Amino acid sequence: MTTPPWTDLLSATTEDCLAALLEASGRDWSHPAHELDWTCRETLDHLALGLIGYAGLLIARPDDRYITLFASLDPQAPVHTCLEGLRIAATLLTSTLRDTAADARAWHPWGHSDATGFAAMGITELAVHTHDITRALGHPWAPPDDSSAAVLTRLFPDAPSGHSPSGTLLWCTGRGTLPGLHRRTDWQWDGTVRP
């Protein structure tokens, strides 16, 4: 099976996540996100900041630091309108991916990466934090298997096989269990470019 282009995977994951978050938008987002120190609302802000940050890293291409641009959602805006900001952030990352040359590299603390690596990071952030928020709000949701499988190949090359891609992604990011394996309490992806 051929993996769809990363921009398609990011766009599809964005739509899936936005739909799940919109369904939960009428609930109390001041609750802590599942097993995080942030509230659901703070997790949403972190997510938008991360997507903008990945676009910024690909544009500025620093080799030793994070970028100096920080973007956030309006803290006074209702959640359903903040989802517009999340869509904007994801769209900016998708557009940046399309415009980034294959040989471009940028710094990330978990490995200097290329456009596909930053696409996979964006998908991971969307998937795991949508999971964190929806689970805390009593609206369980699981990441799409096709984008999860692509992310596992790109960022988690040592991921265990024989399980669903979405379940494996949640396990790799310390958010789930897999039969016969201890739950992860410490994790990170590997964004370095591999042949």
55-96 pLDDT, tens per residue? 999 999 999 999 988 888 999 999 999 999 999 999 999 999
Cβ count within 10 A of residue 37: 8
Q: How confident is the model at residue 12 (pLDDT cuts 50, 70, 90)?
A: very high
Q: What is the CATH number of the domain that holds 24?
A: 1.20.120.450
- Inside any domain, residue 57: yes
Does residue 23 fall inside a structural domain? yes
Q: Which residues of 124-144 are buried (b: 16+ CB within 10 A; e: fewer)?
A: bbbbbbbbbbbbbbeeebbbb
Backbone φ and ψ of 39, nearest 5°? -75, 170
pLDDT for residue 1: 47
Q: What is the pTM of this model?
A: 0.96
Structural domain harbouring 132: 6-172
Q: Is residue 24 part of a domain?
A: yes
For the chain, the domain total comes to: 1
Among left, alpha and beta (phi > 0; psi -120 to 50; other), residue 61 is left
What is the tens place of the pLDDT at every residue in 90-123? 999 999 999 999 999 999 999 999 999 999 999 9
